Structure 1
Amino acid sequence: MLPLAIATVSYAIGVAARYDGSITLLHFNDLDVQNPDAHPSVLLIDSAIHSSSRSACLSLGETLLPSISGALSQDIVPLLHCQVFQGLFVNGQKFWINPQTGSSVLGLCTQSANSSAVPEFLTTVSSNGLSITGFRDQNSFKFQGIPYADPPARWTYPTVYTGSKTVNATKFGAVCVQTGATGASEDCLFLNTWTSFVPQSASAPKSTLKAVMLWIHGGAFTSGEGSDPTFGGGPMTSRGDVVLVTSNYRLSTLGFLALDDGKTKGNFGTADQIAALEWFNEHISAFGGDPERVTIFGQSAGAASMRALLQSPTSFGKYAAAIQMSNLAGDGYATTYSQYYTIEQEQTLVADPIIAAAGCGDATDALSCLKTVDGNTLVNLPTVARFVVVDGTYVLASELPLNQTGKVANVHAMIGWMRDDGAAFISSPTSDNVVFALEANGLPTNVANSSLFPIPSLPGNTDIDNLFNMTARAATDGLFRCLDQATTFSGVQHDLFKSMWSYEFNRSYQTPGFDPNAPHCDAPKDTTHPAGDPNEEYFKCHSGELFFVFGSLPTSLSYRDASELPFMQVALDTWTAFGRTFNPNPDPAFLKARGFTTSATIFAKQSRWEPVTKSSVNGQALHILQFPSKMDGFRELPQCDFLGFSLNHFG
């Protein structure tokens, strides 16, 4: 047990002075959304003298802790013990909770801000001439709506932010123009940062800085925003001990239009992502983040963004690791996410229909005409631009050169998919006609005659339900699993990455905003499991991992069984472990120091996640994320061979 020395003396509150030292928000976050106030947080300040400790707390709108009792008495030791584990102060460190004369003592302040923090809990950081004011809540310091580039002129690449040096970051910025969004704007290049540590200055010692995770949202390159509450960073920051950043980027035709005119080369949304990387590489240390320990990660179109960035020379050196979650590659709808059009192809297949539908077909200068069309009109046309293209600057090749024909970022890499990812990308059959069902979903019709894809005969299922099972399997293999496994295989065979980790997610909780083909993607409900029984068989669909990875299950949703919360803890601990160390296995000593006994016990009992290597790639290379998790071999290899997507597909 950490020998803590807690000074306790009554005192009278004096006049608050401005506090300019470092602040750490300490919160024992067990992710229990049903009991959000069970674990109060505290503020750790680095004032060593009693008077400055008292004044520092007062300047933050708080007081020195009057006592340590209740839940805090159980939480405070692991919260402080972890600071010792990380080498941030020595074993035996003393802490003020009430002032008295002395030295070598740090202050512990109350932390009154809750999940609905109000303006008096403002926090300001300074970085390279910018003064950025955010606020804190129970979990973290939050800086929302930070402009990372100047408002972009339509179909031009982002430029360095030159606006006001005083930035109000207390609310999210506008989302980028997209179908169905209210309050959307073309002035939308904002990012958001969550952190538990605000250093005294942007030049804080490197040893005090935390790993950074930059999230690129999905949404088919046509929708989504960094302000989506599913990606809220409080849980990752407070439990996972990382700095989380989310960002917007231009979408649809406003972000990805390419014309064969020699100047409109597309990939404006990709350029935005790199501009966000560049901004926070310059400024992230002011938010307690280490610019040399940056992991970029994304899901769906966000994973496709990772894939583009992995071959983009303009992004090299700006991040140390990348996670692709449910990257689309292969058949039908998935093709263009990992295999890119030339600008000439984009012009014919995409731009020409857009120009015609926008009423610019007879214009002498189509680009000038399109610039006069309302952005909301453009993103709602029958055809929109949503494709990464080979532009020669941001993207050099038609696909990620996994066969060593081009450069790939030499970083730590993790790639995975949902067990039934494709079930969200097909329509439910309208009849039992197998060929029609395959054609309707862009799947190869020869699957109908293959014994590798039998139509099951499951009790209680209709013929259409059984056909859906077969098409979902073919879609998952053909749109996700096969080529993501092949990516892992070629990455390892050609020594492209510093380390390689592969997974299949086998537990899901569908987000209410994306629940296609319901109720196929939902755990079956019964009288004893009104929210669904995840131990019964159901489709583990696209986006079903997000609540677990971010620890963001909303209070409106119930735990479906006793494993729900522990699994969420384990999933978040896994992702943030990779962010901190580039290894998804959390250090048992870290878990012990943080007091995470539940997840520590689970990790100790289940199979360790092993990296994919040349010696393991044909054996136990795949980590199956479930409760408990286990190692296994790559799945559906005969089916992948049949579809033309074998392990050595990329060479």
Structure 2
Amino acid sequence: MIHGATLTALFLAIASVNGAISPERLKSDVSIVIQNDLLEAESPHSGSGMIVLDNMDFNRAKSGCQALGESLWGSGGSFSQIQSNLDYLVYQGQHHQGQRYWISPDHRGAPRAINGRGSITRATASDSLPVLCTQTAPYSNETHKDTSSKFQVTVSSNNERITGFRDRLSFRFQGIRYAEQPERWTYSQLYQGSGAEESGLQFGSSCVQGPDTGTEDCLFLNIWTPYLPYKVAHTKKQSLKPVMFWIHGGAFTNGEGSDPTVDGSNLASRGDVVVVSINYRLGTLGFLALDDGQTHGNFGLADQITALDWVRQNIRDFGGDPDRITIFGQSAGAGSVRALLASSKARGKFSAAIMQSNLGGLAYGTTYSHYYTIAEQMDAAGTAILAATNCTDTASPIACLRALPASTIVSLPTTARFLVVDGTYLTTPELDLQHRSSTANVPLLMGLMRDDGAAMIGYPSPNDTLNSFLTSSGVPPSLISPSLFPTPTSPNTTLNIFNTSSHIATDGIFRCIDQATAYAGAINHIFPSVYFYEFNRSYQMPGWSPNPPLCEAPRTAAFPAGDPSAEYFKCHSGELYYVFGNVRRQGLALRDEADLPFEQFVVDSWASFARTGNPTPERGLLVARGYGKVKKIKMPTNITSYGHGWYPPQPADYNSSKPVMQRK
């Protein structure tokens, strides 16, 4: 006769050999809990990772851990390492402090349990207790991911069985299709699974953005999650995690959801959220609008809404709460968030929004916040595209364009990258900040880099004057005002011109429209709460550093990786490593003692906003997770806020009276 415990062990062993393990096979929720104090770096808590399973008896607990390729926690680690994890389980309300959990047996093989206070006691094998398994999956990075069968996990979702894998910090599902490839210049439709087994081990193709980059079959999304539920329909609402839905930037002409800069593993782990990133169609293939009565544009924006629909329909299967989706994006991604706030097609599909460095106002930034009519887009791009492809005088210009290779379209000298008033996805030329019924009524967090505009202009030539350089940069020289934008008097005259121009460009392209949005949104009660920030610390991406090395902390003998306490331009995209907690995941050095606390603070604040609509993390949560020291950073005192005031902190040695790039 085969006893129940033996049968369970046999079943789970077979399950782990024949395919990736799943919550269904384990008959249990599966959670990764780890104190990610140093954001994916070796620390005293590196061994704190554990996998938590639901209540079961001791024999089934052992078999469940074995099916995951793990063992009951405690055979080789110190129990003090997991105290913060136990505290966090109590803080979440999942268990009380006296709750016992299965851990490894003693040296004689007798069952043991640990409670929320860290006390270890003997237990009876028939007791039904939650389970603590080891978590030995390695950290992953851009060049190394262990996707071997030992770490694979399968989730049933959207009428498919999708196999991803776990790394040290989260479960990862990459390259999930949310829409079939649509006919070119038609709107994407929500993908319904075919009942097949699908791989989520590799990222899907990026969307076409160059002759040899990307494909048209590119509508994929990626998920990072710390929690996978078993019986989704019966999962308690409080167990589901907030969802952070990332929309990449790139001028609506480039970028991808798989960019390693914004890998979601650290944010998901430390923030205890589900992170989703998406691809959407770009450039002319994503935004062409013609005056033919059928090609209305905004196809890339519509893709974002289709991806939102997929997430709302399926994210519970990955532990996410469809009623707590925060959309967030930077640059063109922030412009997308702004458009989604305005779009009735997206209304009710997200619960909060974050705009990082939204463009508008002057010069290059205008079209990100003020939307063209189709006629204006024809003047700006459509007519030139049709002429360059000899499609102007054909019976069907759009059919003519569809017959051309994608590589031809993206190689044209003119690109259609503009959001337009198409009458369906966007019905007004800008975000309506006067009438609440016209704009999504959700909490808003927004802001900019201190010197965002420094990336939007070139660098002066030796013969340039301030007037001529602004003119060549597309910025009206009428904005020159010695009282508002004083020109420094250092011996480096070109740097002086660049310094003043960058301040004018930052205010004209970013600050004015973003502060006006926050102000109008607050006083007109468009949004229930508004938080505005400015970063005065940045970590520029090595692969994109405009006007190098001006956007990088200056290197000295004492600070070979750069000295962030010295003055430098805090440029566009300089916050991305901080928001996703990926400085060291990208192999970069912490430049001074404030880099890590600042990074921790930003991750915790963004995740807090997704969780509660307030970027100030709950003190009890920080203490429970062992993150309490994050608060010890001096805040600036010279900034005025609109609505509810909040700003990321400056380094400990920040002096609010320090001149800005020799500004006088």
TM-score by length of 2: 0.88
SS of aligned partner of 1:43: strand
Q: How far apart, in 2, do the equivalents of 1:93 and 1:610 lie?
A: 47
The CA deviation at 1:347 is 1.4
Counterpart for residue 138 of structure 1 = 168
Q: Is the contact between residue 125 and residue 286 of structure 1 (CA under 8 Å) also seen in structure 2?
A: yes
Counterpart for residue 648 of structure 1 = none
Describe the shift of the 1:287–1:44 C-alpha distance in structure 2 as closer, same or farther (beyond 3 A): same
Aligned residue-pair number: 613
Question: After the TM superposition, which of the residue ranges 213-222 and 524-533 deviates more from structure 2?
Answer: 524-533
Q: How far apart, in 2, do the equivalents of 1:161 and 1:401 lie?
A: 32
The CA deviation at 1:110 is 1.7
Select the residue among 85, 95, 99 that pairs with 1:93.
99
The CA deviation at 1:96 is 1.1
5+ residue gaps, structure 2, are 1-5, 13-24, 106-110, 112-124, 140-144
1:76-115 equivalent positions in 2, closer than 5 A:
76-98=82-104, 100=111, 101-115=125-139
Q: Is the contact between residue 607 and residue 631 of structure 1 (CA under 8 Å) also seen in structure 2?
A: no
SS of aligned partner of 2:329: strand
The one-letter amino acid of 1:110's match is T
Counterpart for residue 385 of structure 2 = 354
Describe the shift of the 1:510–1:76 C-alpha distance in structure 2 as closer, same or farther (beyond 3 A): same
Q: Deviations over 1:210-265 (max 9, x none)?
A: 11110000000000000001111110111011110000000000000001111110
The CA deviation at 1:36 is 7.5
SS of aligned partner of 2:498: helix
Q: How far apart, in 1, do the equivalents of 2:315 and 2:468 lie?
A: 52
Q: How far apart, in 2, do the equivalents of 1:181 and 1:113 lie?
A: 35
The one-letter amino acid of 1:114's match is P
Describe the shift of the 1:148–1:526 C-alpha distance in structure 2 as closer, same or farther (beyond 3 A): same
Select the residue among 23, 32, 39 that pairs with 2:30.
23
Describe the shift of the 1:350–1:406 C-alpha distance in structure 2 as closer, same or farther (beyond 3 A): farther
Q: Is the contact between residue 609 and residue 630 of structure 1 (CA under 8 Å) also seen in structure 2?
A: no
Counterpart for residue 4 of structure 1 = none
Q: How far apart, in 2, do the equivalents of 1:143 and 1:386 lie?
A: 30
Counterpart for residue 366 of structure 2 = 335
Select the residue among 59, 64, 67 that pairs with 1:51.
59
SS of aligned partner of 1:54: helix
SS of aligned partner of 2:539: coil
Counterpart for residue 69 of structure 1 = 77
Counterpart for residue 60 of structure 1 = 68
Counterpart for residue 646 of structure 1 = none
The CA deviation at 1:360 is 2.1
SS of aligned partner of 2:337: helix
The CA deviation at 1:68 is 5.5
Q: Is the contact between residue 608 and residue 630 of structure 1 (CA under 8 Å) also seen in structure 2?
A: no
The CA deviation at 1:150 is 1.5
1:26-425 equivalent positions in 2, closer than 5 A:
26-35=33-42, 39-40=46-47, 41-67=49-75, 69-70=77-78, 73-98=79-104, 100=111, 101-115=125-139, 116-120=145-149, 121-165=151-195, 166-179=197-210, 182=213, 184-203=214-233, 204-404=235-435, 407-425=438-456
Q: How far apart, in 2, do the equivalents of 1:395 and 1:24 lie?
A: 40
Q: Is the contact between residue 350 and residue 384 of structure 1 (CA under 8 Å) also seen in structure 2?
A: yes
Question: After the TM superposition, which of the residue ranges 352-361 and 413-422 deviates more from structure 2?
Answer: 352-361
Counterpart for residue 533 of structure 1 = 563
Q: How far apart, in 2, do the equivalents of 1:234 and 1:193 lie?
A: 9
The CA deviation at 1:526 is 1.0
Select the residue among 476, 499, 509 that pairs with 1:444.
476
Q: How far apart, in 2, do the equivalents of 1:57 and 1:555 lie?
A: 31
Q: How far apart, in 1, do the equivalents of 2:523 and 2:138 lie?
A: 50
Aligned alpha-carbon RMSD (Å): 2.6
TM-score by length of 1: 0.90
The CA deviation at 1:52 is 1.2
Question: After the TM superposition, which of the residue ranges 277-286 and 119-128 deviates more from structure 2?
Answer: 119-128
The CA deviation at 1:435 is 1.5
Counterpart for residue 496 of structure 1 = 526
Q: How far apart, in 2, do the equivalents of 1:227 and 1:296 lie?
A: 17
The one-letter amino acid of 2:84's match is P
Q: How far apart, in 2, do the equivalents of 1:122 and 1:360 lie?
A: 50
Counterpart for residue 618 of structure 2 = 587
The CA deviation at 1:415 is 1.0
Q: How far apart, in 1, do the equivalents of 2:482 and 2:436 lie?
A: 34
SS of aligned partner of 1:623: coil
Counterpart for residue 645 of structure 1 = none
The one-letter amino acid of 1:334's match is G
Q: Is the contact between residue 39 and residue 270 of structure 2 (CA under 8 Å) also seen in structure 1?
A: no
Q: How far apart, in 1, do the equivalents of 2:245 and 2:379 lie?
A: 34
The CA deviation at 1:93 is 1.1
SS of aligned partner of 1:133: strand
Counterpart for residue 472 of structure 1 = 502
Percent of paired sites with the same residue: 47
Q: How far apart, in 1, do the equivalents of 2:456 and 2:93 lie?
A: 48
Q: Is the contact between residue 126 and residue 202 of structure 1 (CA under 8 Å) also seen in structure 2?
A: no
The one-letter amino acid of 2:133's match is C
The CA deviation at 1:108 is 1.2
5+ residue gaps, structure 1, are 1-10, 637-651
SS of aligned partner of 1:156: coil
Task: Please tell me whether residue 626 in structure 1 is matched to residue 650 in structure 2.
Answer: yes
Q: How far apart, in 2, do the equivalents of 1:272 and 1:223 lie?
A: 15
The CA deviation at 1:505 is 0.8
Q: How far apart, in 2, do the equivalents of 1:397 and 1:409 lie?
A: 14
Describe the shift of the 1:606–1:82 C-alpha distance in structure 2 as closer, same or farther (beyond 3 A): farther
SS of aligned partner of 1:255: helix
Q: Is the contact between residue 31 and residue 235 of structure 1 (CA under 8 Å) also seen in structure 2?
A: no
Q: How far apart, in 2, do the equivalents of 1:144 and 1:128 lie?
A: 15
SS of aligned partner of 2:624: helix
Q: Is the contact between residue 94 and residue 104 of structure 1 (CA under 8 Å) also seen in structure 2?
A: no
Question: After the TM superposition, which of the residue ranges 522-531 and 96-105 deviates more from structure 2?
Answer: 96-105
Counterpart for residue 434 of structure 1 = 466
Q: How far apart, in 2, do the equivalents of 1:449 and 1:66 lie?
A: 67
Describe the shift of the 1:485–1:571 C-alpha distance in structure 2 as closer, same or farther (beyond 3 A): same
Q: Is the contact between residue 340 and residue 399 of structure 1 (CA under 8 Å) also seen in structure 2?
A: yes
Select the residue among 530, 540, 545 that pairs with 2:575.
545
Q: How far apart, in 2, do the equivalents of 1:217 and 1:132 lie?
A: 24
The one-letter amino acid of 2:470's match is L
